[in-house]
Each structure stands twice: as structure tokens, then as C-alpha cells.
Amino acid sequence: MARNPVELAGATPGPSFEIMMDGRAVPALPGQSIAAALWSAGVLAWRTTRVNGRPRGAFCGIGSCFDCLATVNGAPNQRACLVPARPGDLVTTQEGHGRADLAV
């Protein structure tokens, strides 16, 4: 008898919803991280480095590094691979530290 993972887990995905990435609507699914939703939409970078402004996105995917930092709903330095996507989230590309008032 053939089984598939959805039947074994008893999971039924909920309806999709949208998050916004720099003004662009991005579809997401319940339980998906912001990084996973962005990847699914073909967005591979959502941060630039402090020096030289080089693009960065997800690297490790498990929250060990800080390459996937993004500004989510106005809060900078959020690890997009760990933050669950929620309907209506506003994600913006983070530049450098994210904000000047973080004083490093």
C-alpha cells in the first residue's frame, strides 16, 4: 500500500496568504518561515552588508548565522529563517545594521 507524507502526518495545509516584501506581494503558507516564503517567490536576497553593500539572504537556514536578517514589521535584525510568516507581514530589505539607533 503506497502512502505519502501528508497522509502519514495527517497534515492539511491551510489556505495561503500574502506578505509584502519591499512593496511586492509574496504568497506564503501557514507554518512557513519568511525566508521560505521569499525563496519560494524567487527572492534570494533581503539584506545588504555594512561594508560594500553586498546582497545576502538565507545561508544556514537554521538560525545559526545572521545572513538572513531582515526588517519585519518595522523591527530590524529579524532572522527570516526563524520568523514564521503571518498574514500581512511587511518585510523590507535591511541595509547594514538595520537602523542607525542600534549604535554599534
The structural domain count of the chain equals 1
How does pLDDT run across 22-50, given as a tens digit for each residue? Answer: 999 999 999 999 999 999 999 998 888 88
CATH for 53 = 3.10.20.440
Please, which pLDDT band fits residue 61 given cuts at 50, 70 and 90?
A: confident
d(CA 13, CA 98): 33
Residue 5 has pLDDT above 90, yes or no: no
- The pTM for the full model equals 0.80
Integer angstrom CA distances of residue 12 from 8, 32, 69, 102: 11, 14, 30, 41
Q: Tell which residue, 91, 88, 87, has the closest CA to residue 79.
A: 91
Residue 68 lies in a domain: yes
Mean pLDDT confidence for 68-96: 93
Residue 3 lies in a domain: no
Domain assignment of residue 69, given as a range? 15-94
List the single range of 6-10, 34-38, 87-91 with lowest mean pLDDT. 6-10
Residue 46 lies in a domain: yes
